[in-house]
Amino acid sequence: MYKAVIIGGSAGSFQVITRILHSLPPTFPLPVLLSLHRLKHVRSGFVEALSIKSGIPVVEPFDKDQIKPGRAYLAPANYHMFIELGNKIALSTEEPVNHSRPSIDLSFVTAAQVYRDKLVGIILSGANRDGAYGLKKVKDLGGLTIVQDPLECQVKTMTEASMKLTKVDHVYSTNEIIKFLQSIK
């Protein structure tokens, strides 16, 4: 019933993302879109590090790549990642938004416009407010919204900002997020 999962977070949520990806079966029926802030000068190696333990292939997509189920698409360093109608990735090098490129808001808003009520949006731990507006759009357009339990987050700014702006559907621990994703058939 869902068509895609989109996850936003920052460099600090690396371990949580690794755990989530590790828990997904190779037959996971949806694409997973990852819009994550990176440390300033660490631009490469991220996708390799995430791939090692992931249950599904992780790629940094090319512009106009067709989005396929059972794969994770990591927004490339220094690009915004948009989702286009027709299930395609669109990249852009326009200026950072709220000091962020990729901008989680832009990825979430465009994904919400394409997948509407068939989208699951998840916000993890992060150090700025990017993502809060995007998650609100997911909710407004009928998608399911999940925020990582702030008690579990090293940095709560992103999750708390999201919860302030949106009445999110679930506040989940990492384990609960994993359980939820594994239950998607």
Partner 1 sequence: MNVTDQDLQYFISALKNYTKYDFSDYSDKSLKRRVEKVLADRNLDVTGLITSIKNSQEFAELIVKEITVNTTELFRDPQTWHLLRSRILPRFKNNKNINIWHAGCSTGQEVYSMMILLNEMELFDKAKIFATDLNSDVLDAAKKGQYKYRFNIGYLDNFDKVIKQNPLNYEEFNDVPYDKYFEIDKAKDTITMKKFLTEKPIFRKHDLVKDGNLFFAKFDLILCRNVIIYFNYNLQNNVFELFHSNLYPKGCLLLGMHETILGPWATKFEKIGQAYVKK
- In terms of CB distance, is 18 or 92 closer to partner 1? 92
Closest CA to 14 of 98, 105, 124: 124
- The DSSP secondary-structure symbol of 98 reads T
- The DSSP secondary-structure symbol of 164 reads H
Catalytic residue among 10, 23, 54, 162: 10
10 catalytic? Reply is yes
What would the two tokens of residue 53 be?
């333990």
Residue 17 three-state SS = helix
130 catalytic? Reply is yes
Q: How far is the CB of 63 from partner 1 (least distance, A)?
A: 4
CA distance to 3, 91, 107, per residue, from 129 (Å): 26, 22, 14
Under the rule (CB under 8 A), what is the footprint of partner 1?
40-41, 44, 60-64, 76, 79, 82-85, 90-95, 106, 110
- In terms of CB distance, is 138 or 146 closer to partner 1? 138
Catalytic residue among 35, 54, 107, 130: 130
Residues with catalytic roles: 10, 37, 130
